[in-house]
Amino acid sequence: MNRLNGIVLPKKKSAANLETAAIEIPELVRIPMLMHQGTPCTPVVQPGDTVKVGQLIGSADAEDAVPIHASVSGTVSAISQYQIGRDSVPCIEIEPDGMQILSETCQPPLLKKREDLIAAAKNAGCVGLGGSGKPTHLKLAASSGFDMLILNGAECETDLSSDMRMMLEHGEDIVSGAEMIMKLMKIKETRISILSNQTEIIRHMMDLCEGKKGISICPLPVQYPQGAEKVAVYHTCGRLITEKQTAADVGVLLLNVSTCAFLYQYSQSGMPLVERVVTVSGDCVEHPCNLRVPVGTPAKVLLEYASCSFSALSELYRGGRMMGACLESSEEPILRQQNGLTAVRKQKKTTPSTCIRCGQCMRACPMHLMPMELEHAYRVQNIRMLQKYHVSLCLNCGSCSYVCPAKRPLCETNQLAIALLPKE
Amino acid sequence: MEKLHISASPHIRQRCTVTSLLFHVIAALLPTVSAGCLVYGTSGVMVLCSTVCAAVAADLLCSLAVHQPKAALNGSSVITGLLLGLSLPADIPIWHAALGSVIAIVLVKQLFGGIGKNFANPAMTAKIVLMVLYASEMKIWHMTAAQTAAEKWTSSGAVIRMLLEQNNGMIGESCGIAIILGGLYLVIKKIISPVTPLSYFISYAVLNLVFRMDVPAELTSGSLLLGCFFLSADYTTTPLTVPGKCLFGIGCGCLTFLIRYLGGFGDSVALAVVIMNLFTPLLDSLTRTKPFGTILKLPSEPAESKS
């Protein structure tokens, strides 16, 4: 099978061998009403209300919204605003009482058919846990004719190891989740994709899958990116997703391993998505770690746990270093789709120089785009040329910027170029 | 509260820079340079020094004139100077050699926007200009070299001699093995793609085999090898994609053959490479990559075609 272009990142998973730890309940959690791709939720609690763990606090009125639940028990202290780009959404601040009283509304759902699973995924507040935050119920509902389930455990980003830990520590939940989804969605085959150099995890998952009909492990080439839908599907089962299609159009249901494990845990306990595993790493933290934290915990609490030297802290990323977005302050909350928190020291500033047409960006692009030509088309604001060269296919994976010897911001330019395109 | 810095992803970059790439090329040229200096002695050293110094000085002055002094410090002018010096005869007056460098840097490179913007190989264009300006010094000499290559050295023993040492050509032609070593270094280090050198070399050899019924010893001559590894594999002036590189190499091979046996110009490699440089934009647009997923035609109802 052909493989797409990609890059080889330095192996820097400092927390890969560390057991997931839990942290103490923080003094304040802030839960924004937008922690998914779609429409924000509406707060259904008032300041002064008492809430319990798992209680609904943000209701999803739109079809593409996912409800939000309280991650701690305590009192709602305020409803403030949370800035996302230029927009701001309401943000519920809860002062925990430390008791972690479970809400009595959390009951295991009755899962009999496909529609039950879709409804359960929505009620559970389930989003893509690999960082995308795509509503899972929309993915499940996208097609009625899925014939393959792909569980993505590649986690090829630098630094991050939350999915790896999930597979090692809760592998049986992933396999049971796969069986549950296969049964309800009438899917016959499941492939769990793992980077081929993660031999320990592959062996562990193979042991768990033994005797399970239809579930197999698919080792992927050790390169970046692997998580993007088109790349993951192509590398795992060889199906080609064309420009306007999604994985559902080729009959593939693609979920992150952590999402699958969560769906199974929800089917057993009825506890919605209120906590998650986050990898804290970067050269600014002394003890990189994998932490299980309530959603909405300030980043600062995690950094303190990992002994971060705050005086040296220069940049803080939500996610890994390849695709992570910068945080404006360490007070910002951990979101439910966030798989990593990377704290780095001041980096040497790189000044871009002229392109020498070495073609490395072109050989790195998994979508076979030509970033240097897209950059030129953007500079002259030629929208027709941008469309002709399919800039909209850019995954924002950052491979082109990573390899560029002239240190040009190619990936950033692609995103700016996409913003230029007329809306469909 | 601490102030955090905001930047766009990705937040790590590969260590390789333009300067490090160009220094690899300089390193790859060193065996050829030292062979030339050994064979030609002081006169070879003088020519190389004058071309390199003139190229660096011209580049620096031009960069200062456009207020970007840093742009001149990446070693690209050193490469231009070395390539020009290596393709000149050792007995050329050093002023003429220096003039060649100035032409290469100012006229061919900087006037078109500096590094990465020139449409043709600066060193080779300058060499052609020198051949036109000082036809006597350059051409008379070259006739003998061509003669030597074509007539004198046709036995198989000559191939080995030409690879090892040849002291009647240009400075860079003195040792074929040194050029191959440098070229292999670049290929192994993945600085250049082997596609252009191979397609150039093979197409030239095949044309010779088909139309002249023999593979001449000059296949191992310095000028062809230098053309294969260092001129036709230059980043800026050659196509980007593999099919483009392949066509470029074949074009160079054909033109070199035609110019050498039908034309009357002294340096067939330089002329062939510069002419093919002019085709680069065309080849680039003809051989664009196909973005992923745009190959197949969309079925009218993709969701239902699969079940």
Domains and CATH numbers, chain A: 21-106+272-345 (no CATH), 114-269 (3.40.50.11540), 360-420 (no CATH)
Identify the pLDDT of residue B303: 39
Nearest Cα residue in chain A from B292: A367
Q: How many Å lie between the alpha carbon of B117 and the closest alpha carbon of chain A?
A: 8
pLDDT digits (tens, 9 = 90+) for A335-390: 999 999 999 998 888 889 999 999 999 999 999 999 999 999 999 999 999 988 89
Residue A384 class from Cβ within 10 Å (0-12 exposed, 13-18 middle, 19+ buried)? exposed
β-sheet bridge partners, residue A76: A94
Q: Write out chain B residues lying below 8 Å of A355, CB-based.
A: 116
B258: exposed, middle or buried (C-beta count within 10 Å: 0-12, 13-18, 19+)? middle
Residue A197 CB neighbours (<10 A): 13
pLDDT for residue A399: 95
Query: Out of B12, B291, B306, whose CB is closest to A250?
Result: B306
User: Are A367 and B292 inside 8 Å of each other by CB?
Assistant: yes
Asked if B186 and B193 touch (Cβ cutoff 8 Å), the reply is no
**Higher pLDDT residue, A362 or B218?**
A362
- At what angle are helices B268-286 and B242-261 packed, to 10 degrees? 150
Q: Which tokens is A414 given?
A: 């692609």
3-state SS, residue A275: strand
Q: What is the ipTM, given to two decimal places? A: 0.86
CA atoms lying within 13 Å on the CB side of residue B40: 29
- If pLDDT is split at 50, 70 and 90, which confidence band does B163 have? low
Which candidate in B14, B77, B186 is best for mutational testing of the A interface (most A CBs within 10 A)?
Answer: B14
Domains of chain B: 18-286 (1.10.3430)
Burial letters B158-172, b for 16+ CB under 10 A, else e: bbeebbeebeebbbb
What is the per-residue pLDDT for B33? 94
Read off the pLDDT band of B216 (50, 70, 90). low
**Interchain pair B235, A358: CB under 8 A:** yes
In the numeric block, the tokens 């941008």 are attached to A386
Among A residues 203-262, those touching chain B with beta carbons less than 8 Å apart: 230, 234, 240-245, 248-251
Name the token pair of A266.
């929800």
Check if the beta carbon of residue A156 is closer than 8 Å to that of residue A192: no
Instruction: Beginning with the edge strand found earlier in the chain, give each strand of the sheet holding A340-345 in spatial order.
Output: A21-22, A289-294, A275-281, A340-345, A313-318, A325-326
Contact criterion met (CB below 8 Å) for B195 and B212: no
Q: Calculate the average pLDDT of chain B.
A: 84
How high is the pLDDT of residue B287?
92
> What's the one-letter identity of residue A330?
S
Among A360, A407, A378, which Cα is nearest to B70's? A407
Calculate how close chain B gets to A182, using CA atoms only, in Å. Answer: 15
Question: Which of B5, B288, B293 lies closest to A314 in CB terms?
Answer: B5
- Decide if B303 and A401 are in contact by the 8 Å CB cutoff: no
pLDDT digits (tens, 9 = 90+) for B99-158: 999 999 999 999 998 888 999 999 999 999 998 898 777 654 444 444 444 444 444 455
In angstroms, what CA-CA distances link B283 with A174, A241, A244, B241, B247? Answer: 50, 29, 29, 9, 8
Gap from A189 CA to chain B (nearest CA, Å): 14
Report pLDDT for B217: 65
Identify the residue whose tokens are 């000149």: B88
pLDDT tens profile B38-92: 888 888 899 999 999 999 999 999 999 988 887 788 889 999 999 999 999 888 8
Shortest distance between the Cα of B111 and any Cα of chain A, in A, equals 15
Minimal Cα–Cα distance from A24 to chain B, Å?
23
C-alpha distance from A207 to closest chain B C-alpha (Å): 31
Task: Please give, rounded to a whole number of angstroms, the shortest distance from the CA of B57 to a CA of chain A.
Answer: 20
Helix and strand totals (H; E) in chain A: 12, 17
The answer to whether the CB atoms of A405 and B21 lie below 8 A apart is yes
Residues belonging to chain B with any Cβ–Cβ distance to chain A shorter than 8 Å: 1-2, 4-14, 16-18, 20-21, 70-71, 74, 113-117, 235-236, 240-241, 288-296, 298, 302-304, 306-307
Integer CA distances (angstroms), B67 to A106, B60, B72, B269, in order: 68, 10, 11, 36
Helix intervals (H) in B212-241:
222-226
pTM metric for this prediction: 0.89
Is the Cβ pair B10, A393 closer than 8 Å? Answer: no
Q: Which of A326, A328, A408 to mutate to test the interface with B (most CBs of B within 10 A)?
A: A326
pLDDT, average across residues B291-305 = 53
For residue B117, give the nearest of A116, A174, A355 by alpha carbon.
Answer: A355
CB contact under 8 A, B4 and A314: yes
- On chain A, the residues whose CB falls within 8 A of the CB of B113 are 354
Q: How confident is the prediction along chain A (424 residues), in pLDDT tens digits per residue?
A: 578 899 999 877 888 889 999 999 999 999 999 999 999 999 999 999 999 999 999 999 899 999 999 999 999 999 999 887 778 899 999 999 988 999 988 899 999 999 999 999 999 999 999 888 899 999 999 988 899 999 999 988 888 999 999 999 999 999 999 999 999 999 999 999 999 989 999 999 999 998 888 999 999 999 999 888 899 999 999 898 988 888 999 999 999 999 999 999 999 999 999 999 999 999 999 999 999 999 999 999 999 999 999 999 999 999 999 999 999 889 999 999 999 999 999 888 888 999 999 999 999 999 999 999 999 999 999 999 998 889 999 999 999 999 999 999 999 999 999 999 987 6
pLDDT tier at B159, thresholds 50, 70, 90: low
Highest mean pLDDT among B4-8, B150-154, B166-170, B295-299: B4-8
The better pLDDT of the pair B296, A88 is held by A88
pLDDT at B301: 39
- In this complex, which of A230, A350, A398 lies closest to B293 when CB atoms are compared? A230
Smallest CA-to-CA distance from A321 within B183, B12, B15 is with: B12
Nearest to B6 among A311, A326, A409 (CB): A326
